[in-house]
């Protein structure tokens, strides 16, 4: 009887010891599970990242330019050569248009050859130049019936002017009224008359004149120039039939503290019909500069023109046989 309690106490001590040793095991098992879940999550995330990187690499490989073969390079060079040839053909076409080589333009020229004029002379004027215009009409420029007879000889003279900034105002009405009496104006409806717009005015003058009249020569004259009309007509008669002629008192060098290319003085400059037609055809793309004479010179550089420097057209010179002079 005394041994039984002893055995029971031993069993209790063993059970207590087992309980004490199982608690750390449970804690270790718990942390092992957490660690396993963490590692599994990282592995899954790494696998997903590897898949994403693999897809990006595939896309980059697909977008990467391939190595050009010799055939590819030849194809590229051929395209560039074709592009260059297209540009050259377009330039040749523009030049052909300016020289009247297109069929419909040739037929138009041939059909009107009997009525072809010698020259169209455009005299620049402004809204405040009424007295100066009357002075010209009483000196070198014919008026009335004499103006009509001059046109029968093949020479048209017109005062060239644009429109007022305030379209339809008293300035425009006065010009319209004067033109009804004298019939010697070329009014540029699409041009706003202003000193700073002179380069655009000369472009529109040549474009309008070549559309309205079929002539050998088109001449721009400043409003401070007197003309020896018979001397000018004789000069033009001797050059009749000459294409691509850019005629005037040629100058180059320093203009307003800058260097410019060779060009005819703006006081009086002459273009043959094909050059005036070239300006008309390409007017939208022709750049203007600060001065009208320089602008014309820049446009003529784009074609194969013949530059004719005639000292008789130097209006400020002291030559006795000059055909123009400063008024």
In a domain, 88, yes or no: yes
Whether residue 52 lies inside any domain: the answer is no
258-272: strand order across its sheet: 185-192, 155-163, 117-124, 215-221, 258-272, 245-255, 306-309
Confidence at residue 102, expressed as pLDDT on a 0 to 100 scale: 47
Residue among 136, 120, 287 at smallest CA distance from 225: 136
Q: pLDDT for 185-214, tens place per residue?
A: 999 998 999 888 888 999 999 999 999 999
What CATH code is carried by the domain that includes residue 322?
3.90.550.50
For residue 66, is pLDDT > 60? Answer: no
For residues 233 and 180, membership in a common domain is answered with yes
Question: Do 285 and 321 belong together in one domain?
Answer: yes
* % residues pLDDT > 70 (the chain): 65
Q: Which domain range does residue 125 map to?
A: 117-326
Beta-strand ranges (E) seen in the chain are: 117-124, 155-163, 185-192, 215-221, 225-227, 245-255, 258-272, 306-309, 324-326
Tally the domains of the chain: 2
Beta bridge partner(s), residue 259 = 254
Least confident segment among 20-24, 30-34, 162-166, 254-258: 254-258
**89, 87, 105: which is closest to 97 by C-alpha?**
105
Same domain? For 121 and 105 the reply is no
Maximum distance among all Cα pairs of the chain, rounded to whole angstroms:
167
Higher pLDDT, 123 or 57: 123
The reply to whether 106 and 122 lie within a common domain is: no
226 with 250, same domain: the answer is yes
Q: Are 79 and 148 in the same domain?
A: no
Q: Report whether pLDDT(31) > 50.
A: yes
Over residues 88-117, the pLDDT tens digits come to 666 666 666 555 544 444 434 444 445 789
Q: Is the pLDDT of residue 299 over 80?
A: yes
Evaluate whether residue 63 is within a structural domain.
no
> pLDDT tens, 112-169?
445 789 999 999 999 999 999 999 998 999 999 999 999 999 999 999 999 999 988 9
User: Is residue 189 located within the same domain as residue 285?
Assistant: yes
Of the pLDDT bands very low, low, confident and very high (cuts 50, 70, 90), residue 252 is confident
């Amino acid at each position: 009887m005394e041994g039984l309690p002893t055995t029971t106490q031993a069993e209790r001590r063993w059970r207590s010891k087992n309980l004490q040793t199982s608690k750390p095991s449970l804690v270790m098992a718990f942390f092992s599970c957490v660690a396993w879940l963490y590692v599994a999550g990282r592995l899954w995330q790494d696998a997903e990242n590897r898949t994403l990187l693999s897809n990006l690499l595939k896309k980059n490989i697909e977008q990467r330019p391939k190595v050009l073969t010799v055939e590819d390079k030849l194809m590229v060079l051929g395209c560039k050569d074709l592009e260059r040839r297209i540009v050259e053909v377009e330039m040749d076409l523009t030049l052909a248009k300016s020289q009247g080589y297109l069929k419909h333009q040739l037929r138009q020229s041939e059909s009107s050859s009997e009525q072809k004029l010698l020259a169209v002379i455009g005299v620049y004027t402004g809204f405040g130049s009424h007295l100066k215009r009357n002075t010209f009409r009483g000196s070198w420029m014919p008026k009335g019936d004499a103006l009509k007879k001059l046109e029968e000889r093949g020479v048209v003279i017109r005062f060239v002017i644009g429109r007022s900034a305030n379209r339809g105002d008293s300035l425009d009405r006065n010009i319209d009224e004067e033109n009804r009496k004298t019939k010697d104006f070329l009014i540029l409806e699409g041009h706003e008359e202003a000193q700073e717009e002179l380069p655009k005015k000369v472009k529109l003058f040549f474009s309008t004149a070549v559309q309205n009249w079929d002539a050998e020569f088109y001449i721009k004259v400043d409003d401070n120039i007197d003309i020896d009309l018979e001397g000018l007509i004789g000069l033009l008669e001797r050059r009749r039939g000459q294409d691509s002629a850019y005629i005037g008192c040629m100058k180059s060098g320093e203009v307003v503290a800058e260097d410019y290319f060779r060009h005819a003085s703006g006081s009086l400059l002459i273009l043959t019909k094909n050059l005036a037609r070239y300006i008309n055809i390409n007017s939208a793309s022709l750049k203007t500069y600060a001065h009208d004479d320089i602008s014309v010179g820049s446009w003529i550089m784009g074609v194969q023109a013949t530059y004719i420097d005639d000292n008789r057209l130097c209006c400020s010179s002291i030559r006795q046989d000059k055909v123009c002079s400063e008024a």
